[in-house]
């Protein structure tokens, strides 16, 4: 592609951005910040105030000395002015200031008709009060329709005293009713250097959404080469819109990205489609489709639909440009319908399917499709002697080609007693679980209609202690004791459709089944103990420190387990502990760990130190799992000198002795503009292939962002 048209396209799109993409300025004082609010008075009559007034018989008056003229939301201030009462004309031949709700104009001379709210100003400086934009103009004309027309204009959203960027135009029309500005023969200058000429374009002057070009993004990566997106936004209606984004990749070709969004009275959603007709590297046609819909039908029925499909498994690795997308293994297609009767029952129906996009997974590793799954949860509204009766019933049809398939029904009635007082609480529950299957594709000798019936009993007790320390800080201490009994029943004849073993953590100490799903219910005869302590800040009431430690003790080793799972040991399990402490208003630390008394060693740990202030953020994290991973993560965001700052992230695998994700970014930012350049190299797929990207972003605050942002450094998943 020729370079000159490409640059012109980028910069023209930057200036023609619609209003909903407006960039605000924080911490930059504008002229309007120092002015009192201008509210229309209840009395619309003309008010004149001056030190001296000369009246004539023909109705003309000359006012001088701190003159102020006000009518409605219009206000003139000047050292002198002439007012014609018959024609209701205002003439000023001296420096003056005019204000209304949309404009502030400082002019060398002015002529204004109060009857039709029209006028002409010469030699002006102006401020758009709703956008914090300012500029200069040789002439400003305000018509009866309220439209302002400016000639020989210089326009910027930089604060007074800074003209790092500005827009020059031979003429600009400002239509406040439509919220649009129209410029002709415009030149954009950055530090005095012209970087764009546009013969005509429109730009927003308020916050209303507008059809037009959005800010383009530019970047480069090993997978796509140079990557340019030029989105076009369509404001189709107040409750739905669309975006069309041609994407030019130097190594792969031109892709079209389209997205539509809608917001109805009781639903919202979006539909996206990406199309690359001919990938220059693979020679294939590549597409991606996504539909998300959430809403309610009536007052009780909710609908949640999610559909995603791609043309090939390597789509996100090659074109996604994001480590989170490149690491996913399946795309979900599901429709969930939920009927809820408050405090009585809930009915949920789920249809769920997947598309496998991970190249290193065998078909046997794919999740089962649920076609459908129906679940009913019911609980009596009122308690009798603190006891309530409930039931959970589930039907599911599991489908996966080449595997055992079938239907499952699970009946789960229970009786629950619960008391909760200020200083203590007690809960107990008696359950009966009956599960039956209707299977196809079983191995010879395996039953096609296996079933299982189990009683379950659990009890939990807890105390709540609190005190005030000598320093005045509130402290709490909450010990909990949990007992679970489930008799053993051989479940080896049952299939495994959705069962797995989650991580062993504080939540699992009090779980009523150590497996997820319904295909396996572990036998149990154990109790768990945990104690949680908290300390609050006496002044702010925020949580200053919290710590939890717990352990589970098995009276006998569970015999029910998953295939290839080692049997859990009898006796005490590993200790589980979680600790979070705010060292100060800026410093904090956390530690989650699992410690084995038998091995006298940690089997899993996650520890971190974080710092946060108004201008600086840092986080150092470490994560370890025995025989699986050992990683570090360092995140830094800090000013270096004046307006120059550094942002960086480094995720490193100590076990593999290699970097997983490296981001380095240098940013220079003022109240008027910002420039950021970034480099990223990361593991792009499950095969360990790497991708590198270069990001460059120029932000003219209040006007445009040109370039692309690197990924957010400060996600909640600091270490993964």
Q: Indicate the pLDDT class of residue 676, thresholds 50, 70 and 90.
A: confident
Question: The pTM is what?
Answer: 0.77
53, pLDDT greater than 70:
yes
| Residue with token string 């203590």 | 424
pLDDT of 712: 58
335: tokens are: 């429709």
pLDDT greater than 70 at residue 25? no
Taking each continuous run of H as one helix and of E as one strand, the counts in the chain are 4, 45
Q: Residue 657 pLDDT more than 70?
A: yes
What burial letters (b/e) apply to 270-280, b meaning 16+ CB within 10 Å?
Answer: bbbebbbeebe
Q: Where are the domains of the chain?
A: 23-206
Q: What are phi and psi of 444, to 5 degrees?
A: -55, 135
Residue 100: phi and psi, rounded to 5, are -140, -165
Q: What is the mean pLDDT of residues 40-52?
A: 78
For residue 229, pLDDT over 90 is answered with no
What backbone torsions phi and psi does residue 13 show, to the nearest 5 degrees? -65, -35
For every residue of 274-330, DSSP letters joined together read: EEES--TTT---EEEEEEEEEEEETTTEEEEEEEEEESSTTHIIIII--HHHHT--E
- Number of other CB atoms surrounding residue 249 within 10 Å: 24
DSSP 6: H
Q: Which residues contact 185 (CB under 8 A, 6 or more apart)?
A: 169, 170, 171, 197, 199
Compute CA 47 distance to the chain's CA centroid, rounded to the nearest angstrom: 51
Q: Which DSSP category does 506 fall into?
A: H
Residues of the chain with pLDDT > 70, as a percent, come to: 90
What percentage of the chain carries pLDDT values higher than 90? 56
Structure tokens at 281: 């590297």
pLDDT (tens digit, 9 = 90+) per residue, 406-438? 999 999 999 999 999 999 999 999 999 999 999
How far, in Å, CA of 257 to CA of 347, rounded?
A: 38
Q: How far is CA 91 from CA 82, 104, 115, 628, 690, in A?
A: 5, 17, 14, 82, 71
Distances (CA, A) of 208 to 238, 244, 407, 487, 553: 10, 19, 53, 65, 62
**Residue 710's pLDDT band (boundaries 50, 70, 90)?**
low
State the pLDDT at residue 475: 94
CA angle, 61 then 64 then 66, to 5°: 130
Q: What pLDDT, on the 0 to 100 scale, is given for residue 105?
A: 92
Q: Which residue has the higher pLDDT, 341 or 21?
A: 341
Question: Above 50 in pLDDT, residue 13?
Answer: no
Decide if 139 contacts 151 (C-beta within 8 A). Answer: yes
Which residues, 6 or more positions from 84, have their beta carbon under 8 angstroms from its beta carbon? 59, 60, 90, 91
User: Which pLDDT does position 324 carry in this prediction?
Assistant: 47
Query: What gap in Å lies between CA 181 and CA 390, rounded to an integer?
Result: 63
pLDDT in tens, 490-547: 999 999 999 999 888 888 999 999 999 999 999 999 999 999 999 998 888 788 999 9
pLDDT at 40: 56
Q: What is the pLDDT of residue 268?
A: 97
Give the integer Cα–Cα distance in Å for 542 and 248: 50
pLDDT tens per residue across span 294-322: 999 988 999 999 999 999 988 888 887 44
> Residue 116: CB partners within 8 Å, gap ≥ 6?
144
Q: How confident is the model at residue 33 (pLDDT cuts 50, 70, 90)?
A: low
Q: How far apart are CA 454 and CA 519, in angstroms?
A: 13
Positive or negative, the CA dihedral 79, 80, 85, 89 is negative
Residue whose C-alpha is closest to residue 475's, from 525, 516, 532: 532
pLDDT of 375 > 60? The answer is: yes
pLDDT of the residue at 18: 40
pLDDT at 599: 83
Torsion of CA 693, 698, 699, 703, to 10 degrees: -120
Instruction: Identify which of 81, 87, 96, 71 has the alpha carbon closest to the alpha carbon of residue 50.
Output: 81
Q: Where are the beta strands (DSSP E) in 28-158?
A: 47-49, 52-55, 60-71, 74-84, 89-92, 96-99, 103-107, 109-113, 118-128, 133-142, 148-156
Higher-pLDDT residue of 582 and 35 is: 582
pLDDT at 8 over 80: no
Task: Please determine, for residue 699, whether its predicted confidence score (pLDDT) is greater than 90.
Answer: no
Q: In the prediction, which pLDDT does 530 show?
A: 97
pLDDT at residue 32, rounded to an integer:
56
| DSSP H or E run through 638 | strand 629-641
CA 687 – CA 359 distance, rounded (Å): 9
Name every residue whose Cβ is closer than 8 Å to that of residue 207 and which is 6 or more positions away in sequence.
Answer: 19, 20, 22, 179
Average pLDDT over residues 370-386: 93
Q: How far apart are CA 121 and CA 137, in angstroms?
A: 9
Count CA atoms within 13 Å of residue 498 on its CB side. Answer: 15
Q: Which pLDDT value is given to residue 209?
A: 80
Res 26 pLDDT > 60: no
pLDDT at 57 (0 to 100): 72
pLDDT-based confidence at 711, cuts 50/70/90? low
Element (H or E) spanning 12, and its range? helix 3-15
The tokens for 403 are 């595997």
Neighbours of 472 (CB within 10 A): 9
Rg (CA), the chain: 34
Q: How far is Cα 163 from Cα 171, in angstroms, rounded to an integer?
A: 20
Which CATH number is correct for 23-206, 3.40.50.980, 3.90.850.10, 2.60.450.10, 3.90.180.10? 2.60.450.10
How much is the pLDDT for 23? 36
């Amino acid at each position: 592609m020729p370079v000159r048209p490409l640059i012109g396209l980028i910069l023209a799109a930057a200036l023609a951005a619609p209003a909903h993409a407006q960039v605000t300025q924080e911490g930059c004082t504008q002229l309007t910040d120092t002015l009192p609010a201008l509210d229309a008075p209840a009395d619309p009559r003309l008010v004149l105030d001056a030190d001296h007034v000369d009246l004539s018989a023909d109705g003309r008056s000359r006012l001088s000395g701190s003159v102020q003229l006000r009518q409605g939301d219009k206000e003139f201030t000047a050292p002198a002015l002439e007012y014609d009462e018959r024609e209701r004309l205002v003439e000023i031949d001296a420096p003056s200031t005019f204000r209304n709700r949309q404009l502030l104009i400082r002019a060398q001379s002015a002529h204004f008709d109060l009857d039709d709210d029209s006028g002409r100003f010469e030699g002006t400086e102006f401020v758009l009060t709703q956008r914090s934009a300012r500029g200069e103009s040789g002439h400003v004309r305000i018509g009866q329709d309220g439209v302002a027309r400016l000639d020989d204009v210089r326009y910027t959203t930089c604060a007074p005293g800074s003209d790092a960027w500005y827009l020059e135009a031979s003429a600009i029309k400002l239509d406040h009713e439509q919220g649009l500005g129209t410029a002709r023969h415009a030149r954009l200058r950055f530090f005095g250097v012209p970087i764009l000429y546009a013969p005509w374009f429109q730009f927003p002057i308020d916050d209303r959404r507008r059809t037009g070009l959005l800010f383009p993004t530019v970047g480069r990566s090993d997978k796509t080469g140079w990557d340019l997106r030029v989105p076009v936004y369509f404001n189709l209606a107040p409750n739905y819109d669309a975006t069309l984004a041609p994407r030019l990749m130097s190594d792969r070709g031109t892709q079209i990205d389209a997205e539509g969004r809608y917001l109805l009275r009781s639903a919202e959603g979006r539909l996206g489609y990406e199309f690359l007709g001919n990938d220059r590297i693979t020679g294939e046609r590549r597409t991606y489709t996504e539909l998300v819909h959430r809403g309610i039908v009536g007052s009780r029925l909710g609908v949640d639909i999610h559909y995603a499909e791609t043309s090939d498994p390597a789509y996100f690795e090659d074109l996604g440009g994001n480590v989170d997308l490149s690491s996913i293994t399946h795309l979900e297609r599901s429709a969930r319908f939920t009927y809820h009767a408050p405090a009585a029952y809930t009915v949920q129906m789920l249809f769920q399917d997947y598309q496998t996009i991970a190249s290193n997974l065998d078909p046997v590793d794919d999740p089962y499709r649920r076609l459908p799954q129906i679940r009913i949860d019911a609980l009596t509204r009122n308690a009798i002697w603190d006891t309530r009766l409930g039931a959970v019933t589930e039907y599911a049809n599991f489908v996966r080609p080449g595997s055992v398939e079938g239907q499952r029904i699970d009946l789960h009635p229970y009786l629950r007693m619960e008391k909760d007082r200020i200083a203590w609480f007690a809960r107990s529950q008696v359950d009966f679980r009956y599960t039956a299957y209707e299977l196809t594709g079983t191995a010879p000798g395996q039953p096609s209609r296996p079933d299982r019936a189990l009683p379950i009993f659990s009890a939990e007790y807890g105390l709540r202690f609190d005190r005030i320390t000598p320093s005045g800080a509130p402290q709490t201490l909450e010990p909990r004791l949990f007992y679970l009994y489930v008799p053993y029943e051989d479940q080896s004849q049952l299939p495994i459709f959705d069962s797995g073993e989650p991580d062993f953590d504080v939540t699992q100490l009090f779980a009523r089944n150590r497996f997820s799903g319904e295909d396996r219910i572990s036998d149990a005869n154990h109790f768990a103990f945990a104690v949680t302590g908290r300390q609050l800040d006496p002044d702010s009431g925020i949580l200053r420190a919290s710590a939890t430690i717990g352990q589970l003790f098995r009276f006998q080793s569970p015999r029910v387990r998953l295939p290839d799972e080692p049997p859990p040991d009898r006796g005490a399990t590993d200790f589980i502990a979680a600790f979070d402490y705010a060292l100060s208003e800026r410093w904090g630390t956390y530690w989650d760990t699992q410690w084995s008394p038998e091995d006298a060693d940690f089997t899993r740990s996650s520890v971190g130190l974080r710092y946060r202030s108004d201008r600086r953020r840092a986080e150092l994290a470490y994560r370890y799992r025995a025989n699986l991973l050992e990683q570090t993560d360092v995140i830094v965001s800090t000013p270096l000198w004046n307006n120059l700052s550094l942002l960086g992230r480094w995720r490193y695998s100590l076990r593999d002795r290699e970097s997983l994700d490296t981001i380095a970014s240098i940013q220079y930012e003022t109240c008027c503009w910002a420039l950021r350049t970034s480099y990223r190299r990361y593991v792009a797929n499950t095969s360990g292939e790497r991708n590198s990207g270069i990001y460059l972003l120029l932000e003219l605050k209040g006007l445009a962002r040109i370039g692309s942002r690197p990924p957010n450094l400060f996600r909640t998943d600091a270490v993964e």
